[in-house]
Amino acid sequence: MKLSSFVFGAIPLIIQYYAKKYMEDDKTIALQDLENDYGIPRIKSYDFIIVGGGTAGCVVAGRLSERFNVLLLEAGGTPIPPAHVSYFTRDVAVAPDINYFYEGSPLDWDGYAAMTGDATWRYENVLEFWKKNYYGVGGPLTLNSDIPPIWSKWAEAAAELGFTVADPNAQQIPSFAPVQMLIGSGARVSTYTGYIKPYEEIRANLTVIRYANVEQILLDQNNRAYGVAYTRHGIPQIAHASNEVILSAGAMNSPLLLMLSGVGPREVLEQAEIPVKVNIPAVGQNLNDHIWFMIQSFKFNASASPYIPRILEEDLEAAFTTYLETGEGVLGQVEAGPQAFHASSRAIVEGEPAWSDVRITLTTMCPLSFSDDVDSWTACYHMELDRMKSRGSVSLNTTAYLDGVRDVTKLVLIDFKAFDVASDLDVALDG
């Protein structure tokens, strides 16, 4: 029996165990907390209610709770132990959670300012908040700038091709660049670990409720949001906010929740027989995403082994000990190679040669055999289109809603309309 198969093969089972345990433990706490309410919602008031404990929701909750009484409602649970191991990201997380970290280009932020008509979104205005996140040694987010061995070859290739080498978080100019990750002491860092976990037990004014599914935003006669109706492990609950209800439920669930609350396109709400509170046709429109796909895979021969992270079978025990004691070694790293930011021909024609719209990443993969007799290593080129012009939409499945379905995964209708604008495909081919 190989130790690699013995240990890593059990990861899916461990994930299931902890996910079930965390949910059951939280359910026990919920039943104890609500026992004296006799099944009747006890309305509690807060200054702010935040719906969704994702990347943005955790930051907002953490910062507001420095001064205000905050309720954070999250449909999921606490991250399970294997999710903290950087090396396991490809096994226990989806792509957005692999911990890539980018400030973006100043032109991105200036574009948001122009789009919204709000100058506070300009780069020079948001830069102070980026610095507050991770600059120096005291920020809540730890940025790992370790350079992998393969970077030296990537930089040599950049020089041969005449490309600039640059810091990916130094205004993100078109260039070859290393990947930067949110990793601290070998463990993945997130806005949950930075803004919520350290304060949840010590700030009496920060309440985090897990496994909470928000069913509706409550609106008063003036259509001002004053609270939410949600279930906690299926038990109906109501909470009020004296200042604001902040919707941070993601690109799919946020517009869906608005529509379920009577805010959205009139024709959709009427089809679902939901009373129209506020007719806003734009709700659910303008869906935009970074299309990401593999463009080429190939193999390195054994001469590439010094540049590829790997763990030999005979070194596994030492690797386990090193990681648990120091957070260092291969297990404390993410399998992500270097990258390049590229301005397409479309960007150049449109007068934006300094604003990259394509990102190419070289991803190397540790041999699954964990042995020293492997004579080749697989690598892939992945391409990401960062400034697509195509726009999609999110809507409500009115037929399912009228049939009594309340599972949001079955109620949401998503139409990405990827490559609906023909020049987006030209950019992909250009990349």
Binding site residues, as ranges?
Answer: 214
Q: Determine the residue type at 107.
A: L
Percentage helix, strand, coil for the chain under 3-state DSSP, each rounded to 5: 40, 25, 35
Residue 414 DSSP symbol: E
Location of structure tokens 């596994």? 316
CB 244 within 8 A of CB 219: no
Question: Which residues define the annotated binding site for FAD?
Answer: 214
CA-CA distances (angstroms) from residue 63 to 50, 73, 74? 12, 16, 17
Q: How far apart are CA 69 and CA 240, in angstroms?
A: 12
- What is the distance between the alpha carbons of residues 363 and 356, in angstroms, rounded to a whole number? 20
The whole-angstrom separation of Cα 314 and Cα 193 is: 34
CB 244 within 8 A of CB 224: no
Buried b (16+ CB within 10 A) or exposed e, 248-257: bbbebbbbbb
Contact 107, 352 (CB under 8 A): yes
CA contacts within 13 A on the Cβ side of 184 = 13
Query: Which of 332, 339, 338, 372 has its CA nearest to residue 88?
Result: 332
How many other CB atoms sit within 10 Å of the CB of residue 166? 17
* Rounded Cα gap, residues 102 and 335, in angstroms: 17
Nearest alpha carbon to residue 75 among 209, 190, 257, 199: 209
DSSP lists the bridge partners of residue 393 as: 285, 415
Question: By three-state DSSP, how is residue 327 classified?
Answer: coil
